[in-house]
Amino acid sequence: MNFRAKSYGQRDEPEINLIPFIDVLLVILIFLMLTTTYNKFTEMQLRLPVADTDAQRDHPNEIVLVVSSEGAYMVNKKPLAGPGIEALTGALINAAKGNQQAVLIISADAAARHQSVITVMEAARRAGLTHITFATQSTTRAQPR
């Protein structure tokens, strides 16, 4: 039988208990999952314009929509009868003639209200037009006001 006392030089190795650490991480993960909101916004495919281009591409099925500084609309050089979004949607549907691949070119005055352009984009969404671009003026041809 061995009745010797433990020597003072030997110590038990300390253990790190991972279970409380994992519990805390799971509680934090659940909290973050419950408090995070996920929003899905309606997206439109946009091609952002480049201001300094040399040649402009010609699209056979393009719709040119002009927004004046007063908020008046013209679709393919024809003024709209009413200022509402329904009239604008109807004009875009008529101009597209059932072609959902038609390119809508928005040519808005620099002083036009932001809401006027947003109304055009909403009407394009309602009309089913997904290819939208904005007309720009080249910086070399721009004239100061």
Of the candidates 96, 84, 86, 107, the residue with the CA atom closest to the CA atom of residue 130: 96
pTM of the model: 0.55
Asked if residue 95 is part of any domain, the answer here is yes
Nearest to 94 by CA among 65, 58, 60, 117: 65
Q: Tell me how far apart the alpha carbons of residues 91 and 3 are, in angstroms, rounded to a whole number.
A: 102
> Could you give the number of structural domains in the chain?
1
Res. 102: pLDDT tops 50: yes
Residue 53 has pLDDT above 60, yes or no: no
Would you say residue 54 lies in a domain?
A: yes
* 23 pLDDT more than 90: yes
* Residue 108 resides in a domain: yes
| Residue 16 located in a structural domain | no
Whole domain around residue 130: which residue ranges?
A: 46-134
Higher pLDDT, 97 or 60: 97
Residue 98: CATH number of its domain: 3.30.420.270
Task: For strands 131-134 and 103-108, give the pairing.
Answer: parallel
